[in-house]
Amino acid sequence: MKPTGLSRRALLGAFAATAVTAAPTFANAFGILRGAGDIRRLRMYSGRTGETLDTIYWIEGEYIKDALNEVHFFMRDWRNNKLKSIDPRTVDIMAASHNLLDTSEPYMLISGYRSPETNEMLRRRSSGVAKNSRHLRGEAADLRLKSRSVNQMYSAAAAVAAGGVGRYNSSNFVHMDCGPVRSWGS
């Protein structure tokens, strides 16, 4: 099933009952975003810093450098304010997933870039934090929406079929990254 041929409403109905699958290529993220026209937008807020982000980061086939810089700053390690460039592929996956969810609610950013110090501290506290996490490379985001369940968010990100998708029901968030196509969690 190719997500570009479905309406958002039909897709939401489909993954209310079951997970949507698609061919595992990064091109799917771009195909889903094409439905949004020549503009790509990302909306998020941080419960940690109180900051909000609402930016158009792509217009007519071009990433907007200043907008991506805003994304980099917003997704910084809030514990020590260290920055890393966020991979635009991750931003595309986040935006494509959000488009499929058919909501105007911004994502709540749980975790974006993590400095080595923060990642190590989190590893000491939890067995679920990877030693070589994609968060360390600026290639991952942990996200939440109040208006959508973890399963709905997971299904949308999995339908994009452009990277890793983790479902964390007990912590109420979904991990999205631009690494190899894979999924985990229950």
| Of the listed ranges 15-19, 62-66, 119-123, 169-173, the one predicted with least confidence | 15-19
Query: pLDDT at residue 14 above 70?
Result: no
Residue 118 has pLDDT above 60, yes or no: yes
Least confident of 11-25, 74-88, 93-107, 137-151: 11-25
**pLDDT for the residue 130:** 84
Range of the domain at 34: 3-184
Q: List pLDDT tens digits, range 22-48.
A: 333 444 555 555 555 579 999 999 989
Q: Can you spell out the DSSP letters for the chain?
A: --GGGS-HHHHHHHHHHS-----S-THHHHHHHHTT-SEEEEEEE-TTT--EEEEEEEETTEE-HHHHHHHHHHTSBTTTTB--PPPHHHHHHHHHHHHHHT--SPEEEEE----HHHHHHHHHH-TTS-TT-GGGGT-EEEEE-SSS-HHHHHHHHHHH-SSEEEEEGGGTEEEEESSSSEEE--
Nearest CA among 167, 113, 43, 68 for reference residue 176: 167
Give the best-scoring range by mean pLDDT among 12-16, 71-75, 126-130: 71-75
pTM of the model: 0.79
Domain containing residue 143: CATH number = 3.30.1380.10
Mean pLDDT, to the nearest integer, of 127-131?
80
Domain count, the chain: 1
